[in-house]
Amino acid sequence: MFATKHSSKMPERMGPTHPPEMVVLEKGAFLMGGIPQDKFVSAVELPRHQVVFEKPFALAKSPVTRSQWLDLMGSLPSPESPDLDLDCPVVHVTFPEAIAYLRELSITFGNFYRLPSEAEWEYACRAGSALVFSHSNVIEPADANFLYDEQGVEVGVGKPTPVGQYPANLHGIVDLLGNVCEWTADIWHPTYQYSPSDGSAWTEGGKPACRTIRGGAWDHLPRVLRASWRDWAPEQARWDNLGFRVALTL
């Protein structure tokens, strides 16, 4: 397990001096799930359904970086991946560790920081679009950090990259697609049948101790970076392509 910020073995440090940069998402509605023209849509992305947000919320502009984690928690999750830039997304973070980080962040800055719901994540990602990749129906290596094209040819850099190196979406949010997958607050359910329609996290039923992940990662094919793509990870997963992003209740 990673060390907590109160460990006597931690190096002396200033701690975080400012909260994460957040983007406010206004209230509204959207159709969540796979779109008809997407040939890679699977049953887990259906049925497509309307979600209505009655209140605005905020989502971090980028995933939590290794530097942000280090400033708050005092040491990086293990293994530390010393070859990665400190501005890369933090990885090897389990779901409970992400929750611990959010708790410390909330205490430090006096806000209720949390993981986004799966619906909030897709609403932010799509930014009003109904396309395969939110910005387009195709994606190129210049658009996001992914490793292979659909023919299996390596086209990417083969590792996480510092946040913000690829274009932001229409909300000004970066790295929603590619770089690292992201934890959400939702327990994994294999379809959207009976899912919440108000954008809240789906935390009842489902697969025990498993959470939905979103976004695709640096070692994936383009089909895994689709705006509607979803998969699951055990809460104790400590993967080199899985991080998280901060959300905020306003």
Residue 229 CB-half CA count within 13 A:
22
Q: Amino acid identity of 194?
A: Y
Mean pLDDT over each residue of the chain, to the nearest integer:
94
If you count DSSP H runs as helices and E runs as strands, how many of each does the chain have, helices first? 3, 10
Q: Are 86 and 66 in contact (CB under 8 A)?
A: yes
Check pLDDT > 50 for residue 11: no
Determine how many CB atoms are found less than 10 A away from the CB of residue 96. Answer: 11
For residues 98-105, give the mean pLDDT.
98
Tokens (6 digits) for 80: 């530390």
For residues 173-199, give the mean pLDDT.
98
Chain length of the chain:
250
Q: Please report which confidence band the pLDDT of residue 10 belongs to, taking 50, 70 and 90 as the band edges.
A: very low
Domain-wise residue ranges, the chain: 22-249
Check pLDDT > 90 for residue 4: no
Q: What percent of the chain lies above the pLDDT cut of 70?
A: 94
DSSP 83: T
pLDDT digits (tens, 9 = 90+) for 130-164: 999 999 999 999 999 999 999 999 999 999 999 99
For residues 6-24, give the mean pLDDT.
69
Ramachandran region, residue 142 (left: φ > 0; alpha: ψ -120 to 50; beta: rest): alpha
For residues 188-198, give the mean pLDDT.
98
Tell me the C-alpha distance between 25 and 172, whole Å: 11
Check pLDDT > 60 for residue 1: no
pLDDT digits (tens, 9 = 90+) for 44-79: 999 999 999 999 999 999 999 999 999 999 999 988
DSSP 106: H
Q: How far apart are the first and last CA of the chain?
A: 32
Tell me the C-alpha distance between 75 and 14, whole Å: 13
Phi, psi (deg, nearest 5) at residue 72: -90, -40
pLDDT digits (tens, 9 = 90+) for 108-137: 999 999 999 999 999 999 999 999 999 999
Of the listed ranges 12-16, 48-52, 118-122, 184-188, the one predicted with least confidence: 12-16
Check pLDDT > 60 for residue 3: no
With CA atoms as reference, report the closest residue to 47 among 60, 59, 61, 36: 36
Phi, psi (deg, nearest 5) at residue 121: -60, -50
**β partners of residue 187:** 211
Q: Please report which confidence band the pLDDT of residue 14 belongs to, taking 50, 70 and 90 as the band edges.
A: low
**β partners of residue 48:** none
Structure confidence at residue 82 (pLDDT)? 84
Class of 22-249 per CATH? alpha beta
pLDDT digits (tens, 9 = 90+) for 203-250: 999 999 999 999 999 999 999 999 999 999 999 999 999 999 999 999
Tokens (6 digits) for 50: 């309307």
CA 218 to chain centre: 13
